[in-house]
Amino acid sequence: MKRVLEAVVVGAALATALATGWAISQERGAPAGRVPKPAIVQARGDKCVEPVEFMRRSHMQVLLHQRDRTVHEGIRTKGHSLKGCVECHASAATGSVAAEEGDFCRSCHSYAAVRIDCFECHASRPQAVAGGVKP
Amino acid sequence: MSGRDAARRQFLAWGAGALATLTIAPGVLLLRPVHGRAPEQAVTGKARWGLLIDTNRCAAGCDACVTACNRENGLSGATRETDAQWIRKVELRDPRTGRKASLPVMCQHCEHPPCVDVCPTGASFRRADGIVLVDKHICIGCRYCMMACPYKARSLVHEPLADQQPDVPRGKGTVESCTLCVHRVDRGERPACVEACAAAGRGAIVFGDLNDPASAIARRIAQYPSVQVRADLGLNPGVRYEGI
Amino acid sequence: MEIAYREIEGRSGAYWLLLAVLAAVTAAGLAGAWAMEHHGHIVTGMTNQIVWGMPHVVAVFLIVAASGALNVASVASVFGKDFYKPLAPLSGLLAIALLAGGLAVLMLDLGRADRLVVAMTRYNFTSIFALNVFLYTGFFAVVALYLWTMMERRMNRYAKPVGYAAFVWRLVLTTGTGSIFGFLVARQAYDSAMLAPMFIAMSFSYGLAVYLAVLIAAYAWSGRELDAAMLRRLKNLLIVMIAAVLYFVAVFHLTNLYFARQVAFERFVLADGGIYPALFWGGQMVLGSLVPMAMLAHPRLGAARGTVVAASLLVILGGLAQMYVTIIGGQAFPLELFPGVEATSSFFDGRIHPYAPSLPEFALGLAGIAIAGMIVVLAVKLLRFLPERLDARLGESS
């Protein structure tokens, strides 16, 4: 229960921050700020595992839910895993989702000024690039 | 007895299941139930994973298991006092008799792990199938588990890391230890150290389900004497040793 | 006679200088904590063998002393010695300040200090650490309430029951602190139920020593009167507390010496271990216990302020030495995975682990003391903690 609550709180905070950032970016006639607008890197594959609008707001809830299922219950389905995100969204230029300013995760997070705490521990590159052999 | 002979004998002793896991490519296994579990199914207490280490087959100076562990889990392999070591080769010598033994020591995956008891946030936990892990998302880096572990199995990551293995997230300020290669176990493979030991022609480490009386490991510990390290503490580790 | 509590003036240059020094030490400690947070624990002397270092030595000392500092107040309200009543508010203040200093150090030392909220929202109740989170926060609340009942006249009649609660709480709290080590079954140095009562005895001694040093300094620097009879009683109490600690330490080591499996560890910490026996005998025993006892017991010099302050400071230093021996020494001695067999490995099995504290962790440890000091120095200026005059007749007639 506590975990769910925490996930909701964190998710809500992130969603609010992102939504605010988004709203500001959409505002018509707003002067061009010093912060570059997020550039969404084209991902591999036809479409995301969930609708884009849902993912923009709720990706963190999805990730948190999957994280606990993976770590504690050993469920390693690809759909909602961080590894899955990285495999599709790593940029062609850097091979990563968070190495450079323009990479998928960083571009939005920089814009919304929300720190990403994932890639201090998790690989931001898909398996093959990270040096391991793709299974 | 040469190492190769030993390995062959070991192979013969293993059950068909173990052989199958060896010969089938890991990628193929991904698509089928792993160790009898569908990918979307939560791990249960039906199985309890363990290791049996035959120190008679383990040679001083061989560190194939250590190297394989480091590669699999993205450890640097450096051995300063601040570096993480998930598995280490320990050389033993009985001062009274002069008898020597060499064996790998890693997290012993206790049934009653002290590290889990002392962890203030519950980051240190025992998975239903007996694998003791750290949920690094909620580890605060207090190191109480390192104080409590009788096997010196845990390490704190002392420095920022980069280029981690995608299956093995590791990060500065959190505590970590042998995961029994949980990511491999979850896709039906054996831990990297076990594979490496077999590949080196020694086959000193058997991996399997302690709860399944038909498994190679369960049959062997039922038939031949084996010991748990610091058995006096009553922690019932999932790792057992022969020949010490 | 009414006890008149009054804020100290706190406008002198010396007051601001003291505050500035304490603030500077705190800032240095925060810088050290930042370095540990930014670069990781690689900047400390702590390793995967010595996992708790200098910050823990100071923090555990402060936490143990915190519960002991409350004793003077407990003596006044729990044991009904009115004589000690005017001394009680300072006792409560010190308890809060020392605990805050100690906890700050512990939290800033965490590998992921940024996850404090995790520590505050997730609990594993089999962990002494998790229980201590409640014991420590509860202690703040109980002592704050206790201070209120003592300092607000209309609340005075509740002082006794609340004082009881605080007294029981502090005993449980120190038991919890001692049990952090006492429950570590695998380590030769710990794994003993003796640690909990021994920590309680130590808390009485260290807490009272801190109390006496602060009391005398505060009265001397603010030019207030401190009665000699009062000081005599307190210093005699300190002699008893030091003796109690000596008793527990003796029993602890004698028990260990009797168990064959513990002899190697005892030999290490009492004879062969280099710095640890030196700190044990020289620091904890001679300078931290025997010398201050002799000083305080001296018929002529014993009650002189200078003697009491010096003896108290020696007890404090002895306490820090004891924590160093207990915490660092206990880890430096290798874990025995294979009893009776010699073990070597790349992970330093079977070897004495070296430890050299680095500047950042030293600074962090000192910051704990400075934080406690700042709380006291500010509180006595802002609130009425100190009686204007302290003489022996005060408490008895009130």
Q: How far apart are CA B35 and CA B182, in angstroms?
A: 12
Query: Of A73, A120, A131, which is closest to B163 when you measure between CB atoms?
Result: A131
B138 to C122: CB separation less than 8 angstroms, yes or no: yes
| Cβ neighbours for A42, distance < 8 A, ≥ 6 positions apart | none
Nearest residue on chain A to B175, alpha-carbon basis: A121
CB B65 within 8 A of CB B87: yes
Query: How many Å lie between the alpha carbon of A52 and the closest alpha carbon of chain C?
Result: 31
Q: How far apart are CA C309 and CA C322, in angstroms?
A: 20
Query: Of A76, A122, A126, which is closest to B186 when you measure between CB atoms?
Result: A76
pLDDT at residue C268 is higher than 60: yes
Decide if C340 touches B, using CB distance below 8 A: yes
Task: Output the 3-class SS for C224-258.
Answer: CEECHHHHHHHHHHHHHHHHHHHHHHHHHHHHHHH
A67 to B30: CB separation less than 8 angstroms, yes or no: no
B91 to C343: CB separation less than 8 angstroms, yes or no: yes
CA-closest candidate to residue C190, choices C102, C47, C60, C357: C60
Q: Return the SS3 of B54.
A: strand
Reported as type and span, the H/E element at residue A86 is helix A82-89
Q: How far apart are CA A3 and CA C42, in angstroms?
A: 32
Per-residue pLDDT in tens (0 to 9) along chain A, 135 residues: 455 556 655 666 666 666 655 555 555 444 556 777 787 777 888 889 999 999 999 999 999 999 999 999 999 998 899 999 999 999 988 999 999 888 999 989 989 999 999 999 999 999 864 444 433
Query: How many Å lie between the alpha carbon of B122 and the closest alpha carbon of chain C?
Result: 5
Range from A125-134, B131-140, B197-206, C131-140 carrying the lowest mean pLDDT? A125-134
A72 to B137: CB separation less than 8 angstroms, yes or no: no
Range from B25-39, C23-37, C204-218, C378-392 carrying the lowest mean pLDDT? B25-39
Q: What is the pLDDT of residue C228?
A: 87
Q: What is the pLDDT of residue B35?
A: 64
Q: How far apart are CA B229 and CA B236, in angstroms?
A: 9
Decide if C56 touches B, using CB distance below 8 A: no
Decide if B40 touches A, using CB distance below 8 A: yes
Mutate to test the interface with B, among C48, C136, C177, C349 (most CBs of B within 10 A): C48
Q: What is the pLDDT of residue B29?
A: 40
Decide if C125 touches B, using CB distance below 8 A: no
pLDDT at residue C246 is higher than 60: yes
Q: Give the DSSP letter of residue C262.
A: G
Decide if A2 touches B, using CB distance below 8 A: no
Q: What is the pLDDT of residue B170?
A: 97
Alpha-helical segments (H) within chain B = 3-13, 16-23, 26-29, 64-73, 114-118, 144-148, 182-185, 192-199, 216-223
Query: How many Å lie between the alpha carbon of B91 and the closest alpha carbon of chain A?
Result: 31
Question: With contacts defined as CB-CB under 8 Å, which chain A residues touch B37?
Answer: 74
| Residue B45 tokens, joined | 């207490």
DSSP B104-170: EEE---BSS-HHHHH-SSS-EEE-TTS-EEE-TTT-----HHHHH-TT---EE--S---S-BTTB--
Q: Backbone phi, then psi, for B167, in 5-degree steps?
A: -85, -10
B166 to A72: CB separation less than 8 angstroms, yes or no: no
Stretch C313-327: mean pLDDT: 98
Q: How far apart are CA C40 and CA B164, in angstroms?
A: 17
Question: With contacts defined as CB-CB under 8 Å, which chain B residues touch C124?
Answer: 116, 119-122
Question: With contacts defined as CB-CB under 8 Å, which chain A residues touch B165?
Answer: 123, 130-132
Decide if B196 touches A, using CB distance below 8 A: no
CA-closest candidate to residue B36, choices B13, B12, B20: B20
CB C159 within 8 A of CB C146: yes
Stretch C236-242: mean pLDDT: 96
Q: How far apart are CA B154 and CA C284, in angstroms?
A: 32
Q: What is the pLDDT of residue A4?
A: 55
Question: With contacts defined as CB-CB under 8 Å, which chain A residues touch C121?
Answer: 2, 6
Q: How far apart are CA C171 and CA C216, in angstroms?
A: 26
Q: What percentage of chain C has pLDDT greater than the value 90?
A: 78
Query: Of B117, B147, B158, which is closest to C42 when you measure between CB atoms?
Result: B158
| Cβ neighbours for B84, distance < 8 A, ≥ 6 positions apart | B75, B155, B156, B157, B170, B176, C48
| Cβ neighbours for C340, distance < 8 A, ≥ 6 positions apart | B94, B96
| Cβ neighbours for B94, distance < 8 A, ≥ 6 positions apart | B100, C340, C341, C342
From the number of C-beta atoms within 10 Å of its C-beta (0-12, 13-18, 19+), residue C221 rates as middle
Stretch C339-360: mean pLDDT: 96
Angle at C6 between CA C5 and CA C9, to 5 degrees: 160
Stretch B204-231: mean pLDDT: 97
Q: Residue for token digits 């022996």?
A: C392
**DSSP tally for chain A: helices H, then strands E:** 4, 0
Query: How many Å lie between the alpha carbon of B32 and the closest alpha carbon of chain A?
Result: 12
From the number of C-beta atoms within 10 Å of its C-beta (0-12, 13-18, 19+), residue B76 rates as exposed
Question: With contacts defined as CB-CB under 8 Å, which chain C residues touch A2?
Answer: 121-122
A74 to B186: CB separation less than 8 angstroms, yes or no: yes
Q: Which of residues 6-65 of A touch B (CB under 8 A)?
A: none
Q: How far apart are CA C153 and CA B56, in angstroms?
A: 78
Question: With contacts defined as CB-CB under 8 Å, which chain B residues touch C353?
Answer: 81
Nearest residue on chain A to C114, alpha-carbon basis: A117
Q: Greatest CA separation found in chain B?
A: 54
Query: Of C111, C122, C338, which is closest to B121 when you measure between CB atoms?
Result: C122
Q: If pLDDT is split at 50, 70 and 90, which confidence band does C47 have? A: very high
Sign of CA dihedral C264, C269, C272, C275: positive
pLDDT at residue C1 is higher than 90: no
- Of A97 and B25, the structure prediction assigns the larger pLDDT to A97
CA-closest candidate to residue C61, choices C6, C111, C11, C99: C99
Q: How far apart are CA C255 and CA A109, in angstroms?
A: 60
Q: Residue for token digits 């007051």?
A: C15
**Residue B175 burial (CB count, 10 A):** 28
Stretch B20-36: mean pLDDT: 46
Task: Give the tens place of pLDDT for each residue, B61-108.
Answer: 999 999 999 999 999 999 999 999 999 999 999 999 999 999 999 999
Query: Cα dist. A59→A12, A44, B169 in Å?
Result: 11, 18, 19
| Residue C300 tokens, joined | 């002529």
State ipTM: 0.92
Query: How many Å lie between the alpha carbon of A112 and the closest alpha carbon of chain B?
Result: 23
Instruction: Say how many CB pairs under 8 Å bridge A and C.
Output: 3
From the number of C-beta atoms within 10 Å of its C-beta (0-12, 13-18, 19+), residue B162 rates as exposed
Q: How far apart are CA C212 and CA B66, in angstroms?
A: 56
CA-closest candidate to residue B192, choices B44, B72, B38, B36: B72
pLDDT at residue B58 is higher than 90: yes
Query: How many Å lie between the alpha carbon of C276 and the closest alpha carbon of chain A?
Result: 38
pLDDT at residue B164 is higher than 50: yes
Instruction: Say how many CB pairs under 8 Å bridge A and B.
Output: 70
C186 to B121: CB separation less than 8 angstroms, yes or no: no
Query: Of A86, A120, A131, which is closest to B171 when you measure between CB atoms?
Result: A120
pLDDT at residue B60 is higher than 50: yes
Q: What is the pLDDT of residue B18?
A: 43
Query: Of B135, B165, B172, which is closest to A120 when you measure between CB atoms?
Result: B172
Query: Cα dist. C47→B227, C141, C342, C353 in Å?
Result: 30, 36, 22, 9
A121 to B167: CB separation less than 8 angstroms, yes or no: no
Question: With contacts defined as CB-CB under 8 Å, which chain C residues touch A6?
Answer: 121
Question: With contacts defined as CB-CB under 8 Å, which chain A residues touch B128?
Answer: 73
CB C140 within 8 A of CB C134: no
CA-closest candidate to residue B23, choices B227, B198, B182: B198
Instruction: Say how many CB pairs under 8 Å bridge B and C.
Output: 168
CATH number at residue B75: 3.30.70.20
Query: How many Å lie between the alpha carbon of B20 and the closest alpha carbon of chain C?
Result: 35
Query: How many Å lie between the alpha carbon of A34 and the closest alpha carbon of chain C?
Result: 28
pLDDT at residue B16 is higher than 90: no
Decide if A134 touches C, using CB distance below 8 A: no
Mutate to test the interface with A, among B136, B164, B165 (most CBs of A within 10 A): B164
Q: How far apart are CA B115 and CA A45, in angstroms?
A: 43
Mean pLDDT of the residues in chain C: 93
Nearest residue on chain C to B106, alpha-carbon basis: C347
**Residue C274 burial (CB count, 10 A):** 12
- Of C77 and B28, the structure prediction assigns the larger pLDDT to C77
Q: Return the SS3 of C6.
A: strand
Those residues of chain C whose CB sits closer than 8 Å to some CB in chain A are 121-122
Could you tell me which chains touch chain C, where touching means 3 or more CB pairs under 8 A? Answer: A, B
A73 to B42: CB separation less than 8 angstroms, yes or no: yes
Class of domain C5-397: mainly alpha
Stretch B148-155: mean pLDDT: 97
Question: With contacts defined as CB-CB under 8 Å, which chain A residues touch B170?
Answer: 121
**DSSP tally for chain C: helices H, then strands E:** 16, 5
pLDDT at residue C398 is higher than 90: no
Q: How far apart are CA B215 and CA B3, in angstroms?
A: 23
Q: What percentage of chain B has pLDDT greater than the value 70?
A: 85
Domain that holds residue B39: 3-242
Question: With contacts defined as CB-CB under 8 Å, which chain A residues touch C122?
Answer: 2
Tally of domains in chain B: 1
Q: Backbone phi, then psi, for C351, in 5-degree steps?
A: -115, 150
Could you tell me which chains touch chain B, where touching means 3 or more CB pairs under 8 A? Answer: A, C
Decide if B164 touches A, using CB distance below 8 A: yes
Q: What is the pLDDT of residue B30?
A: 39
Q: Which of residues 102-121 of C touch B (CB under 8 A)?
A: 110-113, 115-116, 118-119
Q: How far apart are CA C56 and CA C246, in angstroms?
A: 23
pLDDT at residue C3 is higher than 50: yes
